[in-house]
Structure 1
Amino acid sequence: MRAKYRERLPQLDGGLFLTDGGLETTLVFHEGWDLPCFAAFVLLDSARGRKALRDYFDRYVPMAIAAGAGFILESPTWRANPDWGAKVGYGREALARSNRAAIALLLELRDQYETAASPLVVSGAIGPRGDGYDPGALMSPDEAADYHGFQIGLFRDAGVDLVSAFTMTNIGEAQGIAHAAKAANMPCVISFTVETDGRLPTGDTLAKAITSVDEATGNGPAYYMINCAHPTHFDHVLDAGEKWTRRLRGIRANSSRMSHAELDNAPELDMGDPFELGGQYAELIRRFPHINVLGGCCGTDHRHVDCISTACRNAA
């Protein structure tokens, strides 16, 4: 299937692009779904589950259109890789069907909603082989390229515009994904997660992570993002004078100030303050006006993204 924006991603030309919030936390804590291993892709197996996913995006996309913004449609496939798939009973054939079905859903949404003023970019979302908070056993870049190449190939053939790797906890895995995407002629985005000190769970700095991936891949990623951390966890490590910060184009922050360990053990969802979060995004945009892809992560929903959108449009 021919992708619409693969050869020229519109978000690279500037302008505001929104994306969604915390899909899995919304489904579990707000809508009562039991997602095994936080795997949202299992909902694609039933009409009720597919409706829940469609309803989820139906709360976001009209918001972007009303704001005259673009939107990045991220597939519900963060857990749809071989190891996590096996944990919830999916072999490779079943996983392949789920990944293709996820992209088909997003393409339907684009057909329904896209306008000339609001391009809808379809992204195949990739998650880490291990836990999103703990790097666990580290792979070499070659191992990571081979492992994640399975999902990247499926996304390419299904017609995505790009692939986006979220909650990357370590440099080697990010390098491998960037290599695999490059080999598949696919634009890719790498989104790192950081701890409360602004460092990756491995202890590496964000500066080292971005610089190392760029050096190893010839500036392979289209751009980088930060996700699954509160703005106060990383704003102090961002320096507008540093070259690597120019490679950051997106933020999908948590609404909670909790650490990853605290979030893992929290019995209830900490939604934080949507208005405060919007203001924190606006301040980041004032400092780094090239950052234009904005959404949320754990604990956020359409209300947070609405506040982010309003605050950042007013900050422009």
Structure 2
Amino acid sequence: MTNASYRTALPQMNGRTLLTDGGLETTLVFHEGIDLPFFAAYVLLDSDEGRNNLREYYARYIDIARDTGSGFMLESPTWRCSRGWGEQLGHDANAIARYNRDAIALMDELRQGAGIDEPIVISGCIGPRGDGYSPESQMSGDEAEAYHRHQVETFAGTKADMITAVTMTHAGEAIGIARAARSAGMPVAISFTVETDGRLPSGQSLGEAIRETDSTTGNAPAYYMINCAHPDHFADALVDDGTGWTSRIQGLRGNASRKSHAELDASETLDDGNPDELGRDYANLSSALPNLRVYGGCCGTDHRHVRAIASWCCN
């Protein structure tokens, strides 16, 4: 038994609002000056200094949840902690499993010491096999399930309450992760990257990707999220066609920047936008996305943005 607190009853599925963090990797690299090879934050678990950097990072967000009376989702620093990325960093499957377990143990330590009464959910973060902006190739559901099963099953043996698959660029990878999570008995949220036109990098519309994932997996995901785009990029795409796909979106991790992914990739400085404006833009999406429950940020966002989002959306 793993003694996970909320695996069978996620509070955000029962109407509770949860904040989560912002852009972990961009904050550590651009604000803290920490070198993250391949943007892999899990390597910080190797040292006391690195672990303290992670503790300090998450503590800022826990403070916001405490101040606003919100719940919180501790998203583990494991976006790059899968076998393929691990191999590039010299870590075999056993080492990758250990890093994933250690990351969840750190999240549990933070939960135990948070000192707030609202629910704190621990999520095992899974990233894409390829680039989170533009995949070199698309995976079939079967390929993605085989690739991601190792990380999913590792999380299933920890105190993680759920899995969140972040920066998914095409439906095939989402389908594979959803299948692997279902087989492991883990709730999973699927978060899609969208471009400035509101479509996935694969060219598929957001609604089509959600419908395909649901229909192929028997509605396996607990819910969906949108990540790595400014609200201006996808607000006009949130028009339901009567199938109810917009009701399946329960979380946002947007960018503060209005730049395209190509522009962000080419930029040597961080565009952190306007925190209060981003919070207002989140609030303006509430009519199109009435089931929003999880609020955080993605590239370029930090605790300032999440505090602003909380002030607009959690009061």
Higher mean alpha-carbon deviation, 73-82 vs 231-240, is at: 231-240
Partner Cα separation in structure 2 for residue 159 and residue 148 of structure 1? 19
In the alignment, which residue of structure 1 is the partner of 2:53?
52
Opposite residue 245 of structure 1, the aligned amino acid is T
Maintained 8 Å contact 2:101/2:154: yes
1:114 CA drift (Å): 5.0
Q: Which residue in the other structure is 1:152 paired with?
A: 152
- Cα distance in 2 for residues equivalent to 1:177 and 1:234: 24
Contact 2:71 2:120 survives alignment (8 Å):
yes
Partner Cα separation in structure 2 for residue 145 and residue 4 of structure 1? 26
5+ residue gaps, structure 2, are none
Partner of 1:97: 98
Counterpart position of 2:23: 22
| 1:126 corresponds to | 126
Q: Deviations over 1:202-237 (max 9, x none)?
A: 100000000000001110000000000111111100
CA apart distance, 1:159? 1.7
More off after superposition, 161-170 vs 129-138: 129-138
2:258 match = 257
User: CA offsets per residue over residues 37-94 of structure 1, 9 Å max, x none?
Assistant: 0000000000000000000001001211221111011000000011111112211111
CA drift at 1:13: 1.1
Task: Give the match for residue 39 of structure 1.
Answer: 40
Scaled by the length of structure 2, the TM-score of the pair is: 0.97
Partner residue of 1:311? 312
In 2, the alpha carbon distance for the partners of 1:16 and 1:114 equals 18
**Partner amino acid for 1:290?**
N
The reply to whether residue 7 of structure 1 matches residue 30 of structure 2 is no
Q: Is the 8 A contact 2:70 2:314 kept in 1?
A: no
Report the 3-state secondary structure (helix = DSSP H, G, I; strand = E; otherwise coil) of the residue aligned with 1:201: coil
**How do 1:164-179 residues align onto structure 2 when only pairs under 5 Å count?**
164-179=164-179
1:167-186 CA distance string (max 9 Å, x none)? 00011110000000001111
**C-alpha distance after superposition, 1:141-193 (max 9, x if no partner):** 11110110100011010121000000000111100000000011110000000
Q: What are the Cα deviations for residues 9-32 of structure 1, in whole angstroms up to 9, with x where unaligned?
A: 001111321000000000000000
Deviations along 1:267-316, one digit per CA (max 9) or x if unpaired, are 100000101101000111244231010000000000000000001134xx
8 Å CA contact 1:114, 1:120 repeated in 2: no
**How many residues are paired up?**
313
Are 2:68 and 1:74 aligned? no
What is the distance in 1 between the residues matched to 2:152 and 2:107?
16
Name the aligned partner's letter for residue 210 of structure 1. Answer: I
Please show how residues 227-238 of structure 1 align to structure 2 within 5 Å. Answer: 227-238=227-238
Number of the residue aligned with 1:299: 300
Which structure 1 segments of 5+ residues have no match? Answer: none
Counterpart CA distance in 2 for 1:266 and 1:52 is: 25
Distance in 1 between residues matched to 2:61 and 2:151, nearest whole Å: 25
* CA distance in structure 2 between the aligned counterparts of 1:43 and 1:60, rounded to whole angstroms: 19
Q: Distance in 2 between matches of 1:138 and 1:248?
A: 23
Does the CA contact (< 8 Å) of 1:43 and 1:50 recur in 2? Answer: yes
Give the Cα separation in 1 of the matches to 2:25 and 2:237. 28
Task: Give the conservation status (yes or no) of the 8 Å contact 1:240–1:288.
Answer: no
Q: Deviations over 1:79-126 (max 9, x none)?
A: 00111111122111111111111000000111111533x100000000
Q: Which moved more, 1:132-141 or 1:211-220?
A: 132-141
Q: CA deviation at 1:132?
A: 0.3
Post-superposition offset of 1:244: 0.1
Q: Which amino acid aligns with 1:205?
A: S
Give 1:2 deviation, angstroms: 1.8
Tell me whether 134-143 or 168-177 shows the greater mean CA deviation: 134-143
